[in-house]
Copies of this chain bind each other. A is one copy, B any other.
Amino acid sequence: MQNILSWITANEQMFYIVILMIFVGIEVIGRVPSVLHTPLMSGANAIHGVVVIGAIIVMGKAEANNYLSLILGFLAVVLGTLNVVGGFVVTDRMLEMFKSKKKK
């Protein structure tokens, strides 16, 4: 208990950021028309690709002779980039169709 409390105090600001972000996420999505669920899902999917930054950091810190780290890190960078780039491109492709139809 003591432990948890002091952990919370030490990371107070982190907790605020997390909790506020949860509110933002919920509020932002709150009233979406179901027509947009698919592009929204894939757009959100692309955003969590931000994890690639962790991969880059891991990779960039690995010593040149630590092959395990290098290989795993390289894989992580590739997969993370896939998630980001693929996610944004596929979302854009979907939304492009929506848009061009509307202008007509």
Is A27 interfacial (CB 8 A cutoff)?
A: yes
Q: Which residue of B lies closest to A20 (CB)?
A: B20
Bound Cα distance A54, B28 (Å): 32
* Cross-chain contact of A21 among B20, B30, B31 (Cβ < 8 A): B20
Q: Is the CB of A24 within 8 A of B17?
A: no
Q: Is the CB of B13 within 8 A of A20?
A: no
* Interface size band for A: 10 to 19
Contact with B along A7-22 (1 / 0, CB 8 A): 0000001101100110
- The distance from the CB of A40 to the nearest CB of chain B, in whole angstroms, is 16
Query: Contacts A13-B13, A16-B17, A23-B27 given; 17 further ones with Cβ under 8 A?
Result: A13-B14, A13-B16, A13-B17, A17-B17, A17-B20, A20-B20, A20-B21, A20-B23, A20-B24, A23-B24, A23-B28, A24-B24, A24-B27, A27-B27, A27-B28, A27-B30, A31-B31
A-B contact pairs, 8 of them (CB 8 A): A13-B14, A13-B16, A13-B17, A17-B17, A17-B20, A20-B24, A23-B28, A24-B24
